[in-house]
């Protein structure tokens, strides 16, 4: 907390109400099962995410949080309600190459080097590759020296870093993270959270993170939204009071622990009763 005394008032955690970047307006999503029955994945969710805000969606598995992310990414269409991203249809954002994603599947192409994988969004957008930007991001995620390596030569954590670098390379307007560290061990995961927090503080992109880790959500996000199990709906929202840039030390503070307890209880209502 070295910066606490320095004049960084504009970094205050509770942001003033700025323009809305992502607007989920009473959305619902149902899937038709093979036996003809209807499965309600999301009951009714309304959520506004401001420009430059980092929101974490927290919930048990199967609560439809990944589905929300897929709706924002235009990989699915809502059954009810409307999704508006940057004032437009979600497809417009991906068509304009303004969207960055990192999923639990790193989805690196095995035949490309790390450098070529990170540069891929440039090529898919039909732009010439900005070598400096690619190099800078590879360095930022701590993969310098592995530019010419292939994904299979790297550890799980390093692959996820490459996938994070790829999601940021085009300076996207919106960043979607779906359990990007879900497959990692606890130590690596914590380390990746610290690095992502540092990178994000530099870039300040509107971000929606889906996770089932309470600590991850609290450490990274400006606002944590808790969802209930199937059918998914929002049951709790808390503003995270920690200033940025956040040091790993805050994870040991009493305030952090209290919030962890509060969120954990919200996730397990049966135990609370």
Q: Are strands 174-178 and 223-227 parallel, antiparallel or unpaired?
A: unpaired
Nearest to 133 by CA among 54, 203, 52, 209: 203
User: Shortest gap between Cβ of 160 and another protein (angstroms)?
Assistant: 12
- Minimum CB separation of residue 250 from another protein in Å reads 32
| By CB under 8 A, residue 184 contacts another protein | no
Using rule CB under 8 A, residue 265 touches another protein: no
Which residue's CB is nearer to another protein, number 14 or number 124? 124
Q: Can residue 131 be called a binding residue for another protein (CB under 8 A)? A: no
The whole-angstrom separation of Cα 218 and Cα 238 is 9
Does 108 bind another protein (CB under 8 A)? Our answer is: yes
Residue 128 interacts with another protein (CB under 8 A): yes or no: no
Q: Is 77 in the site for another protein (CB under 8 A)?
A: no
* Shortest distance in whole angstroms from residue 172 CB to another protein: 10
Q: Would you count residue 250 as binding another protein (CB under 8 A)?
A: no
Q: Give the shortest CB-32-to-another protein separation in angstroms.
A: 20
Q: Which residues bind another protein (CB under 8 A)?
A: 73-75, 94-97, 99, 101, 103, 105-111, 120-121, 123-126, 150, 152, 176
């Amino acid at each position: 907390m070295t910066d606490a005394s320095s004049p960084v008032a504009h970094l205050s955690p509770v942001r003033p109400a700025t323009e809305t970047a992502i607007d989920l307006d009473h959305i619902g999503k149902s899937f038709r099962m093979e036996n003809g029955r209807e499965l309600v994945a999301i009951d009714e969710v309304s959520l506004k995410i401001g420009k430059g805000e980092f929101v974490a969606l927290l919930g048990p598995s199967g609560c439809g949080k990944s589905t929300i992310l897929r709706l924002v990414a235009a990989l699915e269409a809502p059954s009810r309600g409307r999704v508006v991203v940057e004032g437009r249809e979600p497809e417009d954002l991906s068509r304009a190459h303004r969207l960055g994603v990192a999923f639990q599947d790193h989805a690196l192409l095995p035949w490309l080097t790390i450098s070529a994988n990170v540069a891929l969004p440039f090529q898919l957008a039909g732009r010439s590759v900005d070598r400096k930007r690619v190099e800078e991001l590879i360095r930022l995620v701590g993969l310098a020296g592995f530019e010419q390596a292939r994904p299979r030569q790297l550890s799980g954590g390093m692959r996820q870093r490459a996938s994070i670098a790829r999601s940021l390379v085009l300076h996207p307007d919106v960043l979607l993270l779906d359990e990007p560290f879900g497959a990692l061990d606890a130590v690596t995961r914590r380390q990746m959270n610290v690095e992502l927090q540092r990178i994000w503080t530099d870039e300040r992109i509107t971000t929606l993170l889906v996770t089932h880790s309470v600590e991850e959500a609290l450490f990274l996000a400006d606002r944590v939204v808790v969802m209930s199990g199937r059918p998914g709906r929002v049951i709790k929202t808390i503003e995270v009071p920690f200033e940025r840039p956040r040091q790993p030390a805050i994870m040991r503070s009493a305030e952090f622990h209290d919030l962890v307890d509060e969120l954990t209880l919200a996730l397990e209502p049966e135990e609370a009763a």
